[in-house]
Amino acid sequence: MLAHHTLSILGIILALVLGESGTEVNAVLFGSEITNPLLQMRWFLRETGRYHSFTGDVVDFLFVALFTGVRIGVGARLLFCEMVSPKPKWFVKVGGVAMYGVSWCFMFSIWRFAWRKSIKKYHAWRSRRNEEWQLKHNGHLKTH
């Protein structure tokens, strides 16, 4: 998170000092912050005890989908355009690669979170389904 914010600040300063690459910096900042409302919603849901609900699942799904689509998908296209363009200076290109690298670090962490949450939900569903099956077929739950 510190690297993300440091690179963002340096990118803004660089664009202001050079008087160029403002479009690239703004696009990166927009893509980086577009998922922020969903992160804030997760925090509010946790604070109010409503995170472990359908709403929490929807917010998490939208966050993962938006992060993957914008920061990784659209980000790859923007990085490609920046790299093949002769206009941005080399250190602006290095900053773009660094910011995209940070996004991938976040992405691995987010995918790991999503995988763990999905597996946990799946096991809970299987357990409930098994209990329902036992109740339906023999009228009582199996005890170990």
Q: What angle do CA 53, 56, 57 make, to 5 degrees?
A: 90
Distance of alpha carbon 115 from alpha carbon 84, whole angstroms: 35
- One digit per residue, the tens of pLDDT, for the chain of length 144 reads 889 899 999 999 999 999 999 998 999 889 889 999 999 999 999 999 999 999 999 999 999 999 999 999 999 999 999 999 999 999 999 999 999 999 999 999 999 999 999 999 888 888 877 777 666 766 665 665
Question: Tokens 């098994």 correspond to what residue?
Answer: 130
pTM of the model: 0.78
Neighbouring residues of 103: CB distance < 8 A, sequence distance ≥ 6 = 32, 71, 72, 75
CB 67 within 8 A of CB 106: yes
